[in-house]
Structure 1
Amino acid sequence: MKKTICFGSWQGCLDNGLAERELSCLLAVAAGHTDKEIAQRDGLSPRSIKGRIEAAMHKLGVHKRPALVAEAMRRGLISPMIITLCAVLIGQSATNDNSFNRIRRPGERRIENRVAMRCVDAFQVAS
Structure 2
Amino acid sequence: MENTIEAAGWRGKLNEGLAPRQVEALIYACADMTCKEIARVMGISPKTVSQRLDDARFKLGMQRTVRGLCLEAIKRGIVAPLAVIILINCCMTQQLPAVRRPPSSPRVAQARVNRRGEYELCG
Give TM class, smaller chain.
Answer: 0.7 to 0.9
Q: CA deviation at 1:2?
A: 5.8
Q: Secondary structure at the match of 2:6?
A: strand
| Higher gyration radius (CA) | 2
2-side partners of 1:83 and 1:39: how far apart? 26
SS at match of 1:11: strand
Q: What is the match of residue 69 of structure 2?
A: 68
Partners of 1:83 and 1:89 in 2: how far apart? 10
Aligned with 1:57: secondary structure? helix
Superposition RMSD on alpha carbons, in Å?
Answer: 2.0
| Structure 2, gaps ≥5 residues long | 106-123
Q: Runs (4+) of structure 1 moved beyond 6 Å?
A: none
- Residues in 1 aligned to 2:72 and 2:84: alpha-carbon distance in whole angstroms: 17
Q: Secondary structure at the match of 1:86?
A: helix
The secondary structure found in structure 2 opposite 1:79 is: strand
Corresponding residue of 1:43: 43
Q: Which runs of 5+ in 1 are unaligned?
A: 95-101, 119-127
SS in 1 for 2:44: coil
Q: SS of the counterpart of 1:24?
A: helix
Structure 1 residue 42, shift from structure 2 partner? 1.6
**Larger fraction in helix:** 1
Corresponding residue pairs, total: 104
What residue number does 2:89 align with? 88
TM-score if structure 2 supplies the norm length? 0.76
How much does 1:9 deviate? 1.2
Tell me the distance in 2 between the aligned counterparts of 1:76 and 1:104. 31
On the 8 A contact 1:10/1:78 being kept in 2, the answer is yes
Mapping 1:13-24, distance limit 5 Å: 13-24=13-24
Displacement of 1:25 in angstroms is 0.3
- How far 1:91 sits from its partner (Å)? 1.4
Of residues 85-94 and 51-60 in structure 1, the stretch that sits farther from structure 2 once superposed is 85-94
Give the corresponding residue for 1:121: none
Q: Structure 1-normalised TM-score?
A: 0.74
**Percent of pairs with identical residues:** 30
Residue type at the aligned position of 2:80: S
Q: Give the equivalent residue in structure 2 for 1:26.
A: 26
Residue 77 of structure 1 aligns to which amino acid in structure 2? I
- Alpha-carbon offset, residue 103 of structure 1: 4.6
